[in-house]
Amino acid sequence: MMHCHHVNLQGKGFGGGEIYVRALARALAEAGAKVTLYVAHDNPIWHGLESSAIELIQVENVSQIEERMRYQRPTWIAFHTLAPTPVVEALREGGHFVTAFAHMPLIDRDARPLRSFDLVFGVSRYVISTLHSNGIERTYAEPLYGVAGIDPARTLRSGQPLIARSVYDWDRRKVRDRALAAVEPLARRFLAQRKFERAAGLTLGIVSLLSPIKQFPLLFVTVAPVLARQSSVHLEIFGHGGYAQVRDLRHALAPLGNRVRFWGHQEAVADIYPQLDYLLTGLAEKEALGLNVLEAQACGTPVLAPDAPPFTETVLEGKSGYRYRDPRTDGGADFALLIQDIVAGTRPRPDPRVAAAEHLASFSFEALIGRAKRLLAHIEERVSRTPL
């Protein structure tokens, strides 16, 4: 049995990278590997993952991993949160096969931290292409896609409504954010509790962290006026972000007035997607894959996305959603035509589970197990000179 050591030291939150790592750990275990996953000691998101084949070890920093591995026989180590180059080099000197997962494309990112690894994996063809264009040649050829499935824990218990929560993900390293984080819960006590009910008309939705890589403010500067001209269109936003991201997004969405609503971060995404007519993505070039795109389609909700990688890998035109020209290139003209057609009913709303079943199967957990088996075989071949 191969023993693989994976590292994700994300200190807080439960983003797409952590969902990916949970699924991959389970897939590697199903493929016959023993998995040891090193996680941040103060992050509760890994609860429930441990099994007979998956061991969780909580650490405070990457130096503790280096210290532990110093006394281990040479093995495969994979970093999902990158380690400093001196740590990587020390592990390699100890005989370990040290690899990294690229969870983001190398757009406005420094490629140098990846150069010291024995092998780098990309989570999409698009990510792999950005690795190559930045001179990272020691890459695994097959994209290690994530899965479209949703953990049953991310659903509401029977009878529970979706309740509006804080839209802010406060950065407690900043004095301003610490102060606002203390004041906001007090202010919310004086506001009426809002329960989600779908509005009449066409409901578009965002289900995502409101992070800079999504570029939502930049997208809506152009497309919000387009949506504002369609009086039956409503936008529901499920997610939270930093103060500046939320401020800029609110400003960009001002043309929609009260037809846009913010619901904050929600865990029960499986209950959200079916209440949307379409999921909206952000802009494309800083996105690695978009697990929310896969989740929406698995729930039967089609997606509207810019016609560019990585969405050309995940959205099947006319069957799992529609792609439109980047609005920065045409002032939103193509997006406007698309929305007009959807509102008029001349472009039917596809059900991805029916129209794109084969496409979605490539993002199933069973497909991920297949990728895990091929990955393990490749690693065994690469390190056959050293017993694992």
Question: Hey, which CATH number is domain 154-167+194-361, 3.40.50.300, 3.30.360.10, 3.40.50.2000, 3.40.30.10?
Answer: 3.40.50.2000
Q: Is the pLDDT of residue 148 over 90?
A: no
Contact of 49 with 387, CB cutoff 8 Å: no
pLDDT digit string (tens) for 236-258? 999 999 999 999 999 999 999 99
Q: Are 29 and 6 spatial neighbours (Cβ–Cβ below 8 Å)?
A: no
Chain-centre distance of CA 187, in angstroms? Answer: 31
CA-wise closest residue to 270 among 146, 150, 148: 150
Q: How far, in Å, CA of 28 to CA of 373, rounded? A: 7
Q: How confident is the model at residue 180 (pLDDT cuts 50, 70, 90)?
A: low
186-221 pLDDT, tens digit each: 555 555 578 999 999 999 999 999 999 999 999 999
Q: What tens digit of pLDDT does each residue of 253-291 get?
A: 999 999 999 999 998 888 999 999 999 999 999 999 999
Domain 3-147+364-382 has CATH 3.30.70.20: no
Domain(s) labelled CATH 3.40.50.2000 in the chain stretch across: 3-147+364-382, 154-167+194-361
Cα(71)–Cα(90) distance, integer angstroms: 12
pLDDT score recorded for residue 183: 58
pLDDT in tens, 290-345: 999 999 999 999 999 999 999 999 999 999 999 999 999 999 999 999 999 999 99
pLDDT at residue 28 tops 90 = yes
